[in-house]
Structure 1
Amino acid sequence: MTVPLSFYLILSGVVFLTGLVGVLIRRNIIIILLSVELMLNATNINFVAFSEYFHHAAGQVFVFFALTVAAAEVAVGLAIIIALHRSKSTINVDEFQLLKW
């Protein structure tokens, strides 16, 4: 028994919307980074689902590279969070004005 493609698309949509809500709420930097990762994983679900549906491995290869980039993104993001926390003693996004004119 196989799972229909529409179930994967619904799951991906729910995960993506959860990530989008997390980015829009934006309480602190860690929540924003986790929400971006959720949105990236939602697109990975789509790639794997369509790869299986069309019996082509290109989507799965793309997911492999996307997960590699996501791991590097997490390392750089955590380094930025640590640097900001050391300089400002907070990770609340509303208190940062580094990029404002």
Structure 2
Amino acid sequence: MAVQSYLWLAAILFGIGLIGVLTKRNALIVMMSVELMLNAANLTFLAFARQSGNLGAHAIAFFVIAVAAAEAAVGLAIVIAVFRSRGDVNVDEVRALRE
């Protein structure tokens, strides 16, 4: 499979994630969209690593996976705390974290 195919797939995945972040109001769906965007970035790194044979992109991909796991854990904890206190996880209505 050519590198262009991987890049097109990554662009489509990133676009779907971007649309999800910009249009959805549920915090869980926004978090899933961010994860989709991070996975698209990983796919791009690995596609270029396949083309060039560079192992540095693999290391970057592992760091992105670690950051995505940490973001998911912390984000889910915040969403659960907000849901317990307010009963809703609508992103537009949650302004209590700013104060």
Smaller-chain TM-score range?
A: over 0.9
> What is the Cα deviation at residue 4 of structure 1?
0.7
Q: Does 1:89 align with 2:82?
A: no
Q: CA RMSD in A?
A: 1.3
Residue identity in the other structure for 2:13: V
Partner residue, 1:39 = 37
Q: Please, which of 60, 65, 77 is the counterpart of residue 67 of structure 1?
A: 65
- Would you say how many aligned residue pairs link Structure 1 and Structure 2? 99
Distance 1:54 1:61 in 2: 14
**Mind listing any 5+ residue stretches in structure 1 that lack a counterpart?**
none
Distance 2:69 2:44 in 1: 19
Percent identity over paired residues: 46
**Mind listing any 5+ residue stretches in structure 2 that lack a counterpart?**
none
Distance 2:2 2:51 in 1: 9
Structure 1 segments, 4+ long, off by >4 Å, are none
Distance 2:6 2:97 in 1: 38
